[in-house]
Each structure stands twice: as C-alpha cells, then as structure tokens.
C-alpha cells in the first residue's frame, strides 16, 4: 500500500492506496465523491470521465497511483464552473438525460468540446463525444445541448481555447511524477510528433520482473518435415513475409530486427513500430522472440514474448509448432487486451500466417520460378460481426447489467 498525493477538486489530499486501485474507485471510496459513475470499467462507456490536469480521462482505466501530483476534477468540482453550469441548463432544456447515469461523464466531455471547438457541426460533436455512451436517452438532445452552448458562447464573443489549454499529450497525469523524480511517461508534442527519446524503439530486453498481462497458448501443424520448418523459423525475413501486415526495416543483425506490423479490425487500425530480439536453441528446437512496439496514432505500446517449440507431429512428414504468447498492452488499445479481442485477432493472425507459411514452403519445395507468395495487410474486418461485435456487445451488456 502506497500513499499518493494529489489534488481533487482543488483540495490537496493524501491517502493510502493499493497499486491496483483505479482512480474511479479511489475517488468514490476514499473521498465519497460518487458523482463519478462506473459503468463498464473497461474504458468503453465514458461514465467515469473526469478531468486530469484539465484533460478528460477515463478514471476506470487510470491507476490512482499514476496520478501522483496531478490535479483531478470530478463533476462535483465543476459545480461553480461557468461552462458546466450552461451545459446543465441546456441538458435540462433539450431533454438530454433520463436516468442521468451517463450525465457526469457527458458533462465533463461536453465541457471540453465547448472549451476548445470553435463552431462544431453536429457530426463534429458526435465524433468528439463518441467515447461517452448513453443507454437510455439517445444522443439528439445531448448534441443539441452542446451545440447550443457553443453557439451561445461564441455569440457572446467568448472564443475557444485552442486544444483546451493542453500543453502536452500522453497518459493522463503524466509529467507530474517526473517532477518528483520518477521516470516520465512517453510524451508527444501537440503537433503529434513524438519526441526523439519516445520515437526510439524501447529496449527489447525484458525487465527481470516483467510479467505479461495476457498469456495464451496456440499450436498448429505444418505439412512439411520438422527440419524444413525449423530451418524456416531461422530465416527471420521469411517469417516476417508470412505474417500479414508485417515488414522489416532491414535484415536481422545478431538476432535483432526492427520493423512494423499493421493490424486492422473493423474501425480500429493500428500500426505498431518496434523491435524484436530472437534467440534459438538448436538442441531443443525452441526459440524465444522478445518484442516491443508503439502505435503512434493511439499512443499505445505493447511488450510481448513469443516462445515456440518445433517438433515432429504424430503424422510422419508433418511438424507441430507450439506457441506460448504473452503480452502487455497499454494506452488506448489496452481495453481490448482485457476483452479477449486481442487473442481472437491473434488466433486469426496465426491461422493466416500458417496458410502463408505452407504456401511459401510448398513454393520452395517445388522449386517454382518467380517470387514466393506475399502476405497482404491483415484486415480482420471480415469477422467483425462474429467476433468484434460479439465482444463489444458483451462489454456493453455488462455495462447495462451493472446499472
Ligand atoms: S466505467 Fe470507465 S469507461 Fe466505462
Ligand atoms: S441518461 Fe444516459 S444513460 Fe440514462
């Protein structure tokens, strides 16, 4: 149990908290500020949105301990806030709430829209507020209320504040810990450029006590002899060529490679740039790949380890490959690692990889002329309805049941 020091609604406070406690629980249970609602606890519904250093953030996926030195404002802290007062009146007038469960989070996000957007269209507001779900009212009244407050303020000559006063992007509350001597979180400048130190791939070496957030096992059989498959796994460029969406920046050097992988799942598109270190043990025909990557667009990072073992399958002439995959995702995409979606995508990715591997080995065995078959970008959109919507429905379902 650590003691954290931060400011909540303008009052400095200090309280013990477990490293695992998220900010929403900390605010509600330690400080009795129950205006911050908890819906999904997966970063999906936006009910728990608060301001951290003036920027809306989901308190259910923010560790309280990460807010050391930060200034947190909940909906209670916006009682005297001019924009929020105008929004409250507009929400009542436009019938923008029924049960009110989503309303604290809606007000915090709407305030940010009013603060920073000059003349948002209905579509602009819908996009800006798309991280806040309302289960009962619908969005027509909410959008009208926000648009009316913006129009009214602009008519009174109140100009927007560019970027809502933000001076830096990054994990909510980031920067405060650095001032107190802790390692700073990766920072991006406001034009989206990653600072030089953040742009460099992180060291691939796993910290001694690193433990993946999510681990799963997967096996597959390849219709080629074990020597051929083991040899194939030693040629990193060929392995990458079978992995859809993956490309290397250059040849492997001393077991170290750098490159990127693009993954698209319905509306989510990520391109992780990173590096990997590969070690192989000829005697046991096993290998370990340690990797790190960063998707600039979502400011998400991943660290992972793949262990593989290549051995004779039951059917002569075939090879069984056993994989153990462990990874940690942080940033905006972190919510999906907990929903199991990442594992579903990984399973599909591996299935496509095996198809490509088979095609490439068959091409080599036949001695076909011309280049071997190339893997395209991985677009998991084709199974969007069966997997992604299923996951999303379960997340939203949990949100509804809880309330
Ligand atoms: S409770 Fe935090 S986003 Fe739903
Ligand atoms: S008013 Fe939005 S969930 Fe009920």
Do 242 and 141 share a domain, yes or no? no
Tokens 């806040």 found at: 132
Q: Which atom of ligand 2 is nearest to the CA of 106?
A: 2
Residue 358 maps to a domain: yes
Please work out whether the CB of residue 135 comes within 6 Å of at least one atom of ligand 2: yes
Please work out whether the CB of residue 95 comes within 6 Å of at least one atom of ligand 2: no
Please work out whether the CB of residue 106 comes within 6 Å of at least one atom of ligand 2: no
Q: Which of 122, 144, 179 is the last residue of a domain?
A: 179
Q: Which of 179, 213, 229 is the last residue of a domain?
A: 179
Do 219 and 361 share a domain, yes or no? yes
Q: What are phi and psi of 75, to 5 degrees?
A: -60, -30
Residue 184 maps to a domain: no
Q: What is the mean pLDDT of each run of 10 residues along the chain (403 residues)?
A: 89 91 95 96 95 91 90 94 96 96 97 94 94 94 97 94 66 54 39 34 56 80 90 86 82 84 72 87 91 78 86 92 82 62 73 84 77 61 51 50 45
Give the ranges where 169-318 is alpha helix by DSSP (H): 176-179, 196-199, 226-233, 236-242
- What range defines the domain where residue 130 resides? 2-179
Do 160 and 265 share a domain, yes or no? no
**Per-residue tokens: 260:** 């990127």
Distance of CA 31 to the CA centre of its chain: 28
**Per-residue tokens: 91:** 């929400």
Q: Which residues contact 240 (CB under 8 A, 6 or more apart)?
A: 246, 247, 248, 257, 259
Do 166 and 294 share a domain, yes or no? no
Do 164 and 261 share a domain, yes or no? no
Residue 236 maps to a domain: yes
Do 140 and 276 share a domain, yes or no? no
Q: How confident is the model at residue 188, as a pLDDT?
A: 33
pTM: 0.49
Task: Count how many domains the chain has.
Answer: 2
Q: Sign of the CA dihedral 43, 46, 47, 48?
A: positive
Q: Are strands 71-73 and 2-8 parallel, antiparallel or unpaired?
A: parallel
Q: How confident is the model at residue 237, as a pLDDT?
A: 83
The C-alpha atoms of residue 131 and residue 78 are separated, in whole angstroms, by 20
Q: How confident is the model at residue 389, as a pLDDT?
A: 52
The C-alpha atoms of residue 35 and residue 51 are separated, in whole angstroms, by 13
Please work out whether the CB of residue 151 comes within 6 Å of at least one atom of ligand 2: no
Interval between CA 141 and ligand 2 midpoint (Å) = 11
Q: How confident is the model at residue 205, as a pLDDT?
A: 60
Do 127 and 231 share a domain, yes or no? no
Q: How confident is the model at residue 383, as a pLDDT?
A: 47
Residue 195 maps to a domain: no
Q: Which residues contact 7 (CB under 8 A, 6 or more apart)?
A: 13, 70, 71, 72
Residue 193 maps to a domain: no
Q: How confident is the model at residue 394, as a pLDDT?
A: 57
């Amino acid at each position: 149990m650590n003691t954290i020091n931060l400011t909540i609604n303008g009052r400095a406070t200090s309280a013990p908290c477990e490293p695992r406690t998220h900010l929403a629980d900390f605010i509600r249970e330690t400080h009795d500020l129950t205006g911050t609602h908890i819906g999904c606890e997966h970063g999906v519904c936006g009910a728990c949105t608060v301001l951290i250093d003036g920027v809306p953030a989901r308190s259910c996926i923010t560790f309280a301990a990460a807010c050391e030195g930060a200034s947190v404002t909940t909906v209670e802290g916006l009682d005297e806030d001019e924009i929020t007062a105008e929004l409250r009146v507009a929400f009542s007038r436009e019938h923008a709430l029924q049960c009110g469960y989503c309303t604290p989070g809606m007000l915090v996000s709407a305030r940010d829209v009013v603060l920073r957007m000059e003349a948002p269209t209905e579509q602009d507001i819908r996009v800006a507020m798309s991280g806040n779900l309302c289960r009962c009212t619908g969005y027509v009244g909410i959008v009208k209320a926000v648009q009316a407050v913006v129009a009214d303020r602009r008519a009174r000559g109140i100009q927007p504040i560019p970027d809502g006063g933000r001076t830096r992007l990054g994990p909510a509350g980031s920067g405060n810990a650095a001032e107190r001597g802790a390692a700073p979180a990766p920072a991006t400048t406001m034009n989206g450029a990653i600072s030089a130190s953040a742009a460099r791939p992180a060291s691939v070496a796993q910290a001694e006590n690193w433990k993946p957030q999510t681990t799963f096992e997967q096996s597959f059989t390849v219709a080629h002899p074990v020597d051929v498959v083991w040899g194939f796994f030693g040629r990193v460029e060929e392995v990458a060529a079978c992995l859809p969406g993956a490309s290397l920046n250059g040849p492997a050097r001393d077991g170290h490679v750098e490159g990127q992988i693009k993954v698209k799942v319905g509306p989510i598109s990520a391109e992780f740039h990173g590096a990997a270190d590969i070690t192989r043990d000829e005697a046991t025909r096993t290998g370990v790949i340690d990797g790190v990557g960063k998707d600039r667009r979502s400011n998400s990072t991943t660290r992972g380890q793949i262990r593989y073992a290549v051995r004779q399958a039951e059917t002569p002439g075939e090879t069984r490959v056993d994989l153990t995959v462990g990874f940690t995702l942080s940033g905006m995409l972190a919510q999906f690692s907990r929903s199991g979606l990442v594992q579903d995508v990984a399973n599909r990715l591996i299935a496509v990889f095996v198809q490509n591997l088979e095609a490439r080995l068959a091409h080599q065995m036949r001695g076909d002329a011309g280049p071997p078959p190339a893997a395209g970008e991985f677009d998991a959109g084709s199974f969007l309805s069966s997997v992604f919507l299923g996951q999303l429905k379960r997340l939203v379902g949990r949100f509804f049941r809880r309330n």
